[in-house]
Structure 1
Amino acid sequence: MIAIITGDIINSQKNDSELWLPKLKNLLGSWSATPENWEVYRGDEFQVKCCVDEVFRKCLVIKSLIRTFENLDVRLAIGIGNEVFLSEKITESNGSAYVNSGRLLNDIKAEGKTLAIKTENDKVNRDLNILFKWASIDFDNWTVATAEIIHRLLTNSELTQDELAKDFNITQSSVSQRVKRSNYDLIHETDLYFRKKITEL
């Protein structure tokens, strides 16, 4: 069983891709090799393969990176299932994980959502998608400053608030306020719940 994230950048035409695209590629490249495990195509769409238990956290890392750019956002469709054909290019591989993710992205575009999941288990789908609807109310309203803090913590959880203060050239108390406003502890709890829930598959 694998996880496939299919995503597309919202408002990409209104922003210079030379700013955000290299950073997205660098992030995906830090996880695995292209084109077998990830690929960006059509300029603003992408697909990523990863472990099932890591997929929600990786979605948050992608989301927080894209939200650091003013007026940009991203839709993320998580498909979980099998892989029946493995190609040298992820966009040519196939299986229920790929089908679930690709079709789901079309669905959430039509419904105006930015995060959803489809597995072979209807109960898990229902429970996690209700959770994602609530969580997206917060995720979709991250400011650039909030997204920056969340992204740094998700990619380097060992950073202290003093280190973050130096990185962002702000006071430690400002960092503390941003972390609190970001609901980072709740994000961590949600990830732990996701990892537990996904074991029901």
Structure 2
Amino acid sequence: MTGVITGDIIRSREQKAATWMRLLKTALRRYGQETVDWEIYRGDSFQLEVKSPEMALEAAIMIKASIKQMKKMDVRMAIGVGEKSHRSRKISQANGSAFVNSGECFESLGKKNLAIRTPWPEVDLEVNLLLDLALLVMDKWTTSSAEIVRIYVEHPDATQKALARRLKISQSNISGRLRRAGFHEIMRMSDRFATLIQKHL
């Protein structure tokens, strides 16, 4: 089993491509190697394989937080979980049910910015409901909210005191940003997703 994220950048022309591309590549590199595990194509679309599928939602949260550090920008993503039936040196040449699920889910996103499709309908039902609720907050992240989420996903063991020093703001400001971003609730959702996937592996 593997996880595949298919995505594209919303309003990619609102900002300089070099800036958001750097943020996107940094997020993707956290989860794999370029070409083998991820690729950017057609300028503002991408695909990432997350070999530990239970980590796929965390990866999507990381990507969204990275991109939303740029004003007016966002990202649409579909997470597919399933098998990988053909291995290749390029992710674009790989296939299997994980890739099919991700692609079909992406095509059916409509106005949603994030959804999943797995082999298990009960998992899809629960997680997509949680995502619908979480996106009410995530889609409205400010640049500062997105930044604090990205940093905390990168450094889960960091203390608020250490981050306050790093960002040169007060500890109460860190706490306020996390609260406004819904960070702890969103990470509980990510943990629930991981638990559900692990139960089925």
Q: Which category describes the TM-score, using the shorter chain as reference length?
A: over 0.9
Q: Deviations over 1:42-89 (max 9, x none)?
A: 110100011111111111111110111100100110001111111111
CA distance, structure 2, for counterparts of residue 166 and residue 199 of structure 1: 37
Matches within 5 A, 1:66-145: 66-108=67-109, 111-145=110-144
Match of residue 14 from structure 1: 14
Match of residue 44 from structure 1: 44
Residue 170 of structure 1 aligns to a residue whose secondary structure is coil
> Matched residues, percent identical?
35
TM-score scaled by length of structure 2: 0.94
User: Aligned-pair RMSD on alpha carbons?
Assistant: 1.2
Q: Which amino acid aligns with 2:97?
A: S
8 Å CA contact retained: 2:68, 2:74 = yes
CA distance, structure 1, for counterparts of residue 187 and residue 27 of structure 2: 20
Residue 47 of structure 1 aligns to a residue whose secondary structure is strand
The CA deviation at 1:121 is 1.5
TM-score scaled by length of structure 1: 0.94
8 Å CA contact retained: 2:31, 2:59 = no
CA distance, structure 2, for counterparts of residue 114 and residue 162 of structure 1: 33
Residue 193 of structure 1 aligns to a residue whose secondary structure is helix
Residue 80 of structure 1 aligns to a residue whose secondary structure is strand
Matches within 5 A, 1:157-168: 157-168=156-167
Match of residue 26 from structure 1: 26
Q: Deviations over 1:76-132 (max 9, x none)?
A: 100011111111110110101001111211111xx2000100111222111111111
The CA deviation at 1:31 is 2.6
CA distance, structure 2, for counterparts of residue 40 and residue 58 of structure 1: 16
Q: Deviations over 1:10-46 (max 9, x none)?
A: 0002221111102211222233212111111111010
CA distance, structure 2, for counterparts of residue 188 and residue 78 of structure 1: 17
8 Å CA contact retained: 1:85, 1:95 = yes
The CA deviation at 1:200 is 4.4
CA distance, structure 2, for counterparts of residue 166 and residue 37 of structure 1: 35
Matches within 5 A, 1:176-191: 176-191=175-190
The CA deviation at 1:194 is 0.9
Residue 31 of structure 1 aligns to a residue whose secondary structure is coil
8 Å CA contact retained: 1:124, 1:200 = no
CA distance, structure 1, for counterparts of residue 15 and residue 105 of structure 2: 25
Q: Which amino acid aligns with 1:46?
A: F
Q: Deviations over 1:125-172 (max 9, x none)?
A: 111111111111111011111111111001101222122112222111
The answer to which of 186-195 and 133-142 deviates more is 186-195
The CA deviation at 1:196 is 1.6
CA distance, structure 2, for counterparts of residue 181 and residue 25 of structure 1: 26
Unaligned runs of 5+ in 1: none
Unaligned runs of 5+ in 2: none
Runs of 4+ in 1 over 2 A off after TM superposition: none
Q: Which amino acid aligns with 1:154?
A: V
CA distance, structure 2, for counterparts of residue 122 and residue 151 of structure 1: 30
Match of residue 59 from structure 1: 60
